Amino acid sequence: MDTPITIKDAAAALRAGTITSVELTHIHLDKIEALNPTLGSFITTMPEIALAEAAETDALLAKGVDLGPLQGIPMAAKDIIATKTAPTTANSVVLDPKWGEGYDAAVVEKLRVAGAVFVGKTVLSEFANGAPDPDKPFPMPQNPWDLPRTAAGSSSGTGIAIASGLVLGGLGTDTGGSTRGPSSVNGGTGMKQTFGRVSKFGCVPLGYSLDGINPMARTAYDCALMLNVMAGYDPRDPCTVDVPVPDYTATLTGDVKGMRIGLTMGYFLENPALDVDTKNAILAAVKVLEGMSAIISEVEVPYAAESRDANQIIMWSEASAYHRPDLDTRYDDYGKYTAQQLARGMVFSGADYVQAQRFRSYFKQEMTKLFDTVDVLAMPTSIGPAPMREAMTPERRLNEPSFTAPWNLAGLPAMALPVGFTTGALPLPLSMQLVGAAFNEAPVFQVGDAYQRVTDFHLRVPTYAQMVAATV
């Protein structure tokens, strides 16, 4: 049989007895061994531990003990999230080697209880910010569709691993777009849930009031399966909110009839920086949904550009506060791009931070009003396909519009999913972003899943992974 490439299909195969978790884990470890030296997706793998965990899940299934659809599924964790089976580096020589030692982050705890098998820790932008520095002793992430292009950040390694089939599911984090960006340019699906829905306990912070730990997978359905397990109140994280967690797969029937989808114009689809292929792909995707009887209307997101700026002020202020002691004494130990970014946060005053937070409250109120008129917003995830790495200068990153940061500021759920490829000789993935109201992720999953039931962009395998797969 063909190896399943989604969590949903792998779960069915495990229960049908056509594959075991040990076999599935072996397959993915072999792929990592073959592709990782080039793709730079993993910092650490733990094959012996993973295979032992896989054998335990197989034994439980053989006894009729079913822990749920994540049982026996190979996964990866971004290496800023604590795991008791491997060290946490945050992709930095600055972090104390003993940070996170001996315990699992809350999300890892929950996924292990559900039977997930962690095969390794993935590469990221140092401390989830900046850009990869080739002078530091960590793998350089490569885009599997075209190696000289960026894999985006900061959850680069998990994005590469999902798209290339190195794992079936993985964990990213997102403060301004760090789950959705890598999902966008690598061709995967990534869901930033509502702020406060998932515990951040056991994760090195970037921006305390913006961070989230998120599911990344090939499909919206798979992300929903993961969030079902990850979500919930945790007293160890004071940001979590004690609200009921629905079964996110309950409404995933392919039906979007009557759902109100707002096509975001202005700052988003009419932005002069937006790539033409991306715009056309978004419009085509919305047409597909309209053909499925969704109700489409054009809407404007008020103060979208200002929301991007406010998110930056808050993120860099909070990041520089966390790193201040090490910046004072170990500035040169940081990667050059990370040091620049963190130092930028010191330029902002307390008044700047307060004003950004005041704007944040107003923007959230405006979004509440907007979601009285629509169920889901649709827009681009990125301004275009993955650019060449050499073009991703700090100046460019600072000046580009962001279609993801507003939703961190508002704390709203936002999903990136593939909607097509560029029209040039080399196909590069294009991505749409779906945004929902606070603590209402279900419609976002519903629209994303319905779209993926009638398209196959999310199932395509990157060019480099295709070539190497023939030799594995």
Which residues are designated catalytic?
A: 78, 154, 178
DSSP of 69-125: TTTT-EEEEETTB-BTTB---TT-SSS-TTTTTT---HHHHHHHHTT-EEEEEE--S
Task: Show the CA angle centred on residue 200, arms to residues 42 and 414, nearest 5°.
Answer: 80
Tokens of 252: 């995933």
Alpha-helical segments (H) within 400-470: 405-410, 442-453, 463-469
Burial class (CB in 10 A: 0-12, 13-18, 19+), 321: middle
Burial 367-388 (b: 16+ CB within 10 A, else e): beebbeebbbbbbbbbbbbbbe
Residue 45 host element (H or E): strand 42-45
Burial class (CB in 10 A: 0-12, 13-18, 19+), 192: buried
Q: How far is CA 244 from CA 16, 248, 467, in A?
A: 32, 12, 45
Count CB-CB contacts under 10 A for residue 93.
15
Cα torsion for 271, 276, 281, 287, to the nearest 10°?
70
- Name every residue whose Cβ is closer than 8 Å to that of residue 85 and which is 6 or more positions away in sequence: 46, 49, 118
Asked if 432 and 381 count as a contact pair (C-beta separation under 8 A), the reply is: yes
Query: Using CA atoms, how far apart are residues 356 and 306, in angstroms rounded to an integer?
Result: 9
Tokens of 424: 């040039």
Residue length of the chain: 472
